[in-house]
């Protein structure tokens, strides 16, 4: 567990000072657009780590217009978990950071055809 946390901290600290290189991957039926930071994609064995930006079509109930989530994806079964969440009051991860969530989520099943699966497959195949 300590090894995983060390790798996560190492990767995130390196990306914190890097310029983002956002690549549009998919738009859902609600109009939200999902991007992946090509500079953040790192593979370790069957796992891939990356930053995903969600640009909202309109503010959510908290007034957020975008979020950046650092994600760990299993490239075998495509399950994923969130490692760090940032929520912004402006589009494309701009403006004031309104919420920072450092809690590591439980593993989530990623069904075929979902945004998470499409973005995860993109990261795994990059």
Domain containing residue 115: CATH number: 2.40.128.710
- Chain segment 24-39, per-residue pLDDT in tens: 999 999 999 999 999 9
| Global confidence as pTM | 0.83
Question: What is each CA distance from 87 to 4, 21, 81, 112, in whole angstroms?
Answer: 24, 18, 17, 26
For the chain, the domain total comes to 1
- Chain segment 76-109, per-residue pLDDT in tens: 999 999 999 999 999 999 999 999 999 999 999 9
- Chain segment 46-60, per-residue pLDDT in tens: 999 999 999 999 999
- Element housing 13 (H / E): helix 2-16
Domain that holds residue 73: 2-125
Contact in structure between 55 and 92 (CB atoms under 8 Å)? yes
């Amino acid at each position: 567990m300590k090894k995983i946390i060390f790798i996560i901290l190492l990767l995130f600290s390196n990306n914190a000072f890097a310029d983002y290189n956002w690549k549009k991957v998919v738009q859902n039926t609600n109009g939200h657009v999902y991007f992946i930071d090509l500079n953040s994609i790192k593979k370790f064995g069957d796992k891939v780590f990356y930053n995903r930006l969600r640009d909202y079509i309109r503010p959510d109930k908290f007034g957020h217009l975008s979020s950046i989530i650092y994600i760990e994806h299993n490239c075998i079964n495509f399950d994923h978990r969130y490692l760090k969440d940032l929520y912004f009051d402006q589009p494309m991860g701009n403006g004031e950071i309104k919420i920072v969530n450092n809690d590591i989520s439980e593993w989530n099943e990623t069904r075929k055809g979902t945004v998470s699966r499409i973005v995860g497959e993109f990261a795994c195949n990059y």
